[in-house]
Amino acid sequence: VKWVYTFGDGKAEGSARDVALLGGKGANLAEMASLGLPVPPGLTVTTEACNWFYNNGRVLPPGLQEEVLKGIAGMEAITGRRFGDAGRPLLLSVRSGARASMPGMMDTVLNLGLNDDSVQALGHDAGDARFAWDSYRRFIQMYSNVVLGLDHELFEEILEDEKNRLGHEFDTDLTAVEWQHVVSLYKEMLEEELGEPFPQEPHEQLWGAVSGVFSSWMNARAVTYRMLHNIPEAWGTAVNIQAMVFGNLGTSSATGVAFTRNPSTGEKTLYGEFLVNAQGEDVVAGIRTPQSITEEGRIASGSERPSMEKLMPQTFAAFREICDRLEAHYRDVQDVEFTIERGKLWMLQTRSAKRTTRAAMKVAVDMVAEGLITREEAIARIEPSSLDQLLHPTIDPKAGRDVIGSGLPASPGAATGEIVFTAEEAVAAEAEGRKVILVRIETSPEDIHGMHVAEGILTTRGGMTSHAAVVARGMGIPCVVGAGTMRVDLRNGRLIGMGMTLEKGDVITIDGSSGQVLAGRVAMLQPELSGDFGRLMEWADGLRRMDIRTNADTPSDARAARSFGAEGIGLCRTEHMFFDGGRIHVMREMILAEDEKGRRAALDRLLPMQRQDFTELFAIMHGLPVTIRLLDPPLHEFLPKTGKETREVAAAMGMDEAVLGQRLDALHEFNPMLGLRGCRLAIAYPEIAEMQARAIFQAAVEAARETGAAVVPEIMVPLVGLRSEIDYVKGVIDRVAQEVTGEAGLRIDYLVGTMIELPRAALQAHAIAEAAEFFSFGTNDLTQTTFGISRDDAARFMTIYQRKGIVDHDPFVSLDFDGVGELMEIAATRGRRTRPKMKIGICGEHGGDPVSIRFCENIGLDYVSCSPFRVPIARLAAAQATI
């Protein structure tokens, strides 16, 4: 095996393509060297060596040392210095560098090779003893930390004491003699702590540092970072050994970092900071305040201290040119690290810059205009789920924040409103045109109507997958959950946080992007959906094959979805329409009625309400397809749950409490999600389906007359498993269609289709397709029924499953391709065997998940349908899926 790849002097054995083997830093150092950029010569020890190290009890692989020494010989030839030499010593940096960037998570040792002799030689050679002792003290500290395991603080304490004693403010104020004294104090402390002196032999130092950097792959910080960013442990880190260049060689030397464009706005201006007479991490460590590299940046920051542009114009010009070259070469914004040694510029690192979503958009659009990248590449570079940040109002960064608590940022965006503590209060306030924040300890399905009208939701309990979090994200409502330091005092109608007591009606602001809760009203920035965002979306629309529809039950959802570019409604859940206001009472009457006659009486009263809902939706969607699903949930969801509620309902309905109790018992189901629901309802009580079909067709007639835009309602039958089920329900719908169109004297085109959400339906798709004119995958239920896992109970063990590696992701969030996906493929293929041109879509939560959207593209679905705020995400993801 080859463990070592060298670079330097315009040549390199590796290149940017070797990121897996050489790590990002090593691969890009090689690439820069090949480009002829000024890179100190060096070598990269591969990530394979790191894996060997861990698989063999943390020792270096055989043959590695020879290869490294050979590489160092090459560096000696280029620099004219010798490692371990007492005359002109070659000093080395030993740097970590994994495949994925893990900024600051692992360790680096600088100035390696220094000892009590070579420190003298270095000072002599450079004509600067202060510099040599400054380098030595840095080396001792870093080496002791990374390799010998001593805390930084032990060293910092000593230095602080010395600075105080000498009356110095900055490290740069110390003289050679003073640094020499600090070094002797360091060595004393170290020997006391470890019982051994600081290692003087350069080769011993070198192997220690290489092992130390490998070991840093497993330090607590790195392990946590990998977990948070899904970086496999098996990737390992490379080690880069490189000739040192010195930014601490006096006032013509410096070190800095820069972005080739502004990483927060995306503006095309070089952006960065540097420090004169400094080394390594000084810029980020906050020891001194760094200076801006450009004049423009200096002016913008209001700083008096000169920019690099002003201070070192020639070096700056060279630097700017290199930045331009790097950007053109990599065709992306670069984040670079550099050092200037006595006026000579050295490049030490380059990588693609991390950036905000807004910056990512601007850069992508600008680079297309500059001819650097294609539209496809621009589209591919935006992470779809990051768009979420752009679609909601955000708190003006310039506004003051009066923080009264904080929780988890469960659903992005900021919202302001009056505090209410119950869903009913929320609904009542909204009816009066007031804006509210619904504050609960936690939420449950009964709170849905209140959540829907709230500007934002705050809970003091629960996590990122709690009911409040999931529902709010679906609705696109800003939400903070689990604000544990705050207390809801329901009895007295109070919210208490940070010693502040707020009452119902007091105004608060929540920031669902940061998790903060603020007192009062705060200035907001409105989302900007035109400009770069609009342009990118346009390109995405031009590219994608699938349509994007939305799941919308209310006019406000439908409107929001249209403004985000939805091309129709893929799922309108009619049951949500029955929770609102007075309707729930009529609905209960219907459910509790003794017989068909009683049910029909209640249904007659529901008909005009339901018709009104559809008329509005049809008007908003203006000729775009609207898929309406017949009543789906088990009826008990509409019924009173507590004794108190039951008493109230009995009183309202003029029913005997005991009789009501008996009816409730009779309706009880052991397993309602697998019980009397879906098309089973329409078969048991066809009058319900009749009413819904009548409302749909009457609304379609009305819409056709009023708007002139032809509406083609798509009526969707839920939970079909048998061909005979869809036959029966379709019979009911067709009969009503004839009646309504006959009465109106108007032809209405419509489709009757089915959800595919049971494995049997997927397998029997060819038979079901004889009756069904379209399919829509209800992947929430299909996942539930394929796995036999109840979605409402999954949270309890799904996290355990993930932690123990039983599943690598939650199948309710991202489609399970192997099982659920195979059923989908089977259903699509068999369905189209019967009905080749059949429209097939998806309307489960997965319809807004980018990875699942790619799968839908691959199996040839016609559309995906998702919640309104995910529409732009789906547009982008569907475009990416075609690339």
Q: Are 159 and 186 in contact (CB under 8 A)?
A: no
Q: Is 570 in the site for Mg ion (CB under 5 A)?
A: no
How many whole angstroms separate alpha carbon 596 and alpha carbon 602? 10
Which residues belong to the annotated binding site for Mg(2+)?
757, 781
CB closer to ligand ADP out of 279 and 554: 279
Residue 349 within binding range of Mg ion, rule CB under 5 A: yes
Q: Find the largest Cα–Cα distance for the chain.
A: 106
Measured CA to CA, the distance from residue 200 to residue 118 in angstroms comes to 10
Cα(725)–Cα(736) distance, rounded to whole angstroms? 17
Cβ burial of 265 (10 Å; 0-12, 13-18, 19+) is middle
Q: Provide the minimum distance between the beta carbon of 277 and ligand ADP in the complex, in angstroms, as a whole number.
A: 13
CB of 718 to Mg ion, least distance (A): 6
Pick 348 or 382: Cβ nearer Mg ion = 348
Cβ 491 to ligand ADP, closest distance in Å?
A: 53
Alpha carbon distance 729, 680 (integer Å):
9
Residues 767-786 within binding reach of Mg ion (CB under 5 A) = 778, 781
Task: Provide the β-strand partners of residue 866.
Answer: 550
Q: Name which of 245 and 548 has its Cβ closer to ligand ADP.
A: 245
Instruction: Name the nearest CA neighbour of 206 among 45, 339, 14.
Output: 45
From ligand ADP, Mg ion, none, interface partner of 781 (C-beta below 5 to 8 A by class): Mg ion
Chosen residue from 242, 509, 776, 865 binding ligand ADP by CB under 6 A: 242
Nearest alpha carbon to residue 41 among 245, 282, 259: 245
Residue 258 vs 540, nearer CB to ligand ADP: 258
Q: Is 845 in the site for Mg ion (CB under 5 A)?
A: no
Which partner from the list ligand ADP, Mg ion, none does 245 bind, CB cut-off 5 to 8 Å by kind? ligand ADP
What DSSP character marks residue 197? Answer: P
Residue 804: exposure state from Cβ atoms within 10 A (0-12, 13-18, ≥19): exposed
Nearest approach, Cβ of 107 to ligand ADP (angstroms)?
8
110 binds ligand ADP (CB under 6 A): yes
Q: Which residue is nearest to ligand ADP (CB)?
A: 95
Which partner from the list Mg ion, ligand ADP, none does 536 bind, CB cut-off 5 to 8 Å by kind? none
Number of residues that bind ligand ADP (CB under 6 A): 16
Out of Mg ion, ligand ADP, none, which partner does residue 255 contact, by CB within 5 to 8 A per kind?
A: ligand ADP
Who contacts 742 (Cβ-Cβ below 8 Å, separation ≥6)? Answer: none
639: which 2 tokens? 């019924």
Mark 32-51 with x for binding to ligand ADP (rule: CB under 6 A) and - for no binding.
--------x-----------
144 in contact with ligand ADP (CB under 6 A): no
Stretch that binds Mg ion, among 200-208, 345-353, 615-623, 660-668 (CB under 5 A): 345-353
Q: How far is the CB of 103 from Mg ion (least distance, A)?
A: 7
Question: Least CB distance from residue 201 to ligand ADP, whole Å?
Answer: 21
Residue 754 is a binding residue for Mg ion (CB under 5 A): no
Of the candidate spans 104-112, 491-499, 535-543, 698-706, the one that interacts with ligand ADP by CB under 6 A turns out to be 104-112
Q: Answer with the entry of ligand ADP, Mg ion, none that 776 interacts with (C-beta below 5 to 8 A by kind).
A: none
Shortest Å, Cβ 306 to ligand ADP: 21
Catalytic residue among 392, 449, 452, 467: 467
Closest CA to 378 of 390, 386, 366: 366
No. of helices (H) and no. of strands (E), the chain: 34, 34
Q: Shortest CA distance to 43 belongs to which of 13, 78, 20?
A: 13
Q: Give the nearer residue to ligand ADP in terms of CB position, either 43 or 270.
A: 43
Confirm or reject binding of residue 632 to ligand ADP (CB under 6 A). Answer: no
Q: Which is nearer to Mg ion, 462 or 753 (CB)?
A: 753
Q: Who contacts 604 (Cβ-Cβ below 8 Å, separation ≥6)? A: 691
Residues whose CB falls within 8 Å of the CB of residue 796, separated by 6 or more in sequence, listed in order: none
Q: Is residue 144 part of the contact set for Mg ion (CB under 5 A)?
A: no
Q: At what angle do helices 202-216 and 64-79 cross, to 10 degrees?
A: 120
339 binds, among Mg ion, ligand ADP, none (CB under 5 to 8 A by kind): ligand ADP
Min dist. Cβ of residue 156 to ligand ADP (A): 18
Residues making up the annotated binding site are 573, 629, 757, 778-781
Nearer to ligand ADP, 18 or 366 (CB): 18
Mask 779-818, x = binds Mg ion (CB under 5 A)?
Answer: --x-------------------------------------
Which of the stretches 80-88, 174-182, 240-248, 575-583 binds ligand ADP when contact is defined by CB under 6 A?
A: 240-248
- Beta-strand ranges (E) seen in 198-295 are 237-243, 254-259, 271-276, 291-292
Cβ contact 44:5 at 8 Å? yes
Residue nearest to Mg ion according to CB distances in the complex: 781
The answer to whether residue 702 forms part of the interface with Mg ion (CB under 5 A) is no
Instruction: Look up residue 591 and give its two tokens.
Output: 């459910």
Interacting span for Mg ion (CB under 5 A) from 335-343, 381-389, 530-538, 582-590: 335-343
- 100 burial type by CB count under 10 A (0-12 exposed, 13-18 middle, 19+ buried): middle
Among 868, 217, 791, 172, which residue's Cα sits nearest to residue 567? 868
Strands 774-777 and 839-842, how do they pair?
A: parallel
Q: Catalytic annotation on 766? A: no
Residue 348 or 524: the one with the smaller Cβ distance to ligand ADP is: 348
Detail the residues annotated as belonging to a binding site for substrate: 573, 629, 757, 778-781
Nearest to 576 by CA among 603, 549, 602, 555: 555
Which run of H or of E encompasses 440? strand 436-440
**Among 45, 190, 244, 249, contact with ligand ADP (rule: CB under 6 A):** 244
Of 843, 846, 856, 866, the active-site residue reads: 843
Work out how close the CB of 812 gets to ligand ADP at its nearest, in angstroms, rounded to a whole number.
37
* Residue 337 beta carbon to ligand ADP: minimum distance, rounded to whole angstroms: 4
Question: Which range, of 540-548, 645-653, 752-760, 764-772, touches Mg ion by CB under 5 A?
Answer: 752-760
Please report, as residue ranges, which positions from 428 to 467 form the binding site for ligand ADP (by CB under 6 A). Answer: none
Instruction: Count Cβ atoms within 10 A of the Cβ of residue 809 and give its class: 0-12 exposed, 13-18 middle, 19 or more buried.
Output: middle
Binding mask 64-103 for ligand ADP (x = CB under 6 A): -----------------------------x-x--------
348 binds ligand ADP (CB under 6 A): yes
Determine, following the binding rule CB under 6 A, whether residue 280 of this chain makes contact with ligand ADP: yes
Cβ neighbors of 516 (< 8 A, separation 6 or more) are 401, 403, 405, 406, 480, 510
- As measured in angstroms, the least distance from the Cβ of 149 to ligand ADP is 18
Contacts of 557 (CB under 8 A, 6+ apart): 475, 550, 551, 867, 868
Residue 467 is a catalytic residue: yes
Q: How far apart are CA 626 and CA 860, in angstroms?
A: 21
- Helix, strand or coil, per DSSP, at residue 341: strand
Site for ligand ADP contains 339 (CB under 6 A): yes
Locate the DSSP E strands across 161-306: 237-243, 254-259, 271-276, 291-292
Structure tokens that stand for 721 in this block = 């498993």
Binder of residue 402, out of Mg ion, ligand ADP, none (CB less than 5 to 8 A by kind) = none
On whether the CB atoms of residues 471 and 481 are closer than 8 A, the answer is: no
Q: Which two tokens stand for residue 473?
A: 């994200």
Catalytic (active-site) positions:
467, 843
Which parts of this chain interact with Mg ion (CB under 5 A)?
337, 349, 757, 778, 781
Question: Which residues lie near ligand ADP (CB under 6 A)?
Answer: 40, 93, 95, 104, 108, 110, 242, 244-245, 255, 280-281, 337, 339, 348-349
